[in-house]
Amino acid sequence: MNTETTRVLSAMCPNGRLHLGHYLGVLQNWQQIQYQYNCFFMIADIHGLIRYNNDNQQPIDTINEMVIDWLAAGVDPSQAIMFIQSKVPEHFELSSLLSVITPLGWLERIPSYKEALEELEHTNSNSYGLLGAPVLQSADILLYNAHYVITGEEQSANIELTRDIARRFNHLYGREEGFEDKATLTIKKLGTKKAALYTKLLLKYQQDGNEDALDTARYLLQDALNLSHGDRERLSAFLENKGKVFLQEPQILAGGSTRIIGTDGNPMSITRNNTINIRETPDNVAIKIRSMTTDPARVRRSDPGTPSDCPVWSLHQIYTTQEIKEWVEMGCLSAGIGCLDCKQPLIDAINLQQQNLIEKAKPYQEDSTLVKRILSDGCGRAREIANNNLKLIKHAMNIDY
- Residues near ligand SF4 (CB under 6 A): 294-295, 298, 305, 307, 310, 312-313, 328, 332, 337, 339, 342-343
As measured in angstroms, the least distance from the Cβ of 279 to ligand SF4 is 25
CA angle 333, 338, 343 (to 5 degrees): 100
CA distances from 305 to 217, 226, 335 (A): 67, 77, 7
- Of 325 and 381, which CB lies nearer to ligand SF4 in the complex structure? 325
As measured in angstroms, the least distance from the Cβ of 355 to ligand SF4 is 23
- Of 401, 333, 379, 392, which is closest to residue 170 (Cα–Cα)? 392
DSSP state of 33: H
Query: What would the 3-class secondary structure string for 241-284 be?
Result: CCCCCCCCCCEEECCCCCCCECCCCCECCCCCCCCCECCCCHHH
The overall longest dimension of the chain from CA atoms, in Å, is 91
d(C-alpha 299, C-alpha 303), whole Å:
7
- Of 193 and 300, which CB lies nearer to ligand SF4 in the complex structure? 300
Rounded to a whole number of angstroms, the distance between the first and last alpha carbons of the chain is 35
- Of 252 and 349, which CB lies nearer to ligand SF4 in the complex structure? 349
As measured in angstroms, the least distance from the Cβ of 347 to ligand SF4 is 12
- Of 344 and 376, which CB lies nearer to ligand SF4 in the complex structure? 344
As measured in angstroms, the least distance from the Cβ of 294 to ligand SF4 is 4
Cβ atoms of 320 and 346 within 8 Å: the answer is yes
DSSP state of 88: -
As measured in angstroms, the least distance from the Cβ of 327 to ligand SF4 is 10
Calculate the CA dihedral of residues 95, 96, 98, 102 and round it to 10 degrees: 110
| Ordered strands of the 148-150 beta sheet | 81-84, 38-43, 7-12, 148-150, 251-253
- Of 14 and 307, which CB lies nearer to ligand SF4 in the complex structure? 307
As measured in angstroms, the least distance from the Cβ of 292 to ligand SF4 is 8
- Of 221 and 332, which CB lies nearer to ligand SF4 in the complex structure? 332
- Of 28 and 344, which CB lies nearer to ligand SF4 in the complex structure? 344
As measured in angstroms, the least distance from the Cβ of 367 to ligand SF4 is 41
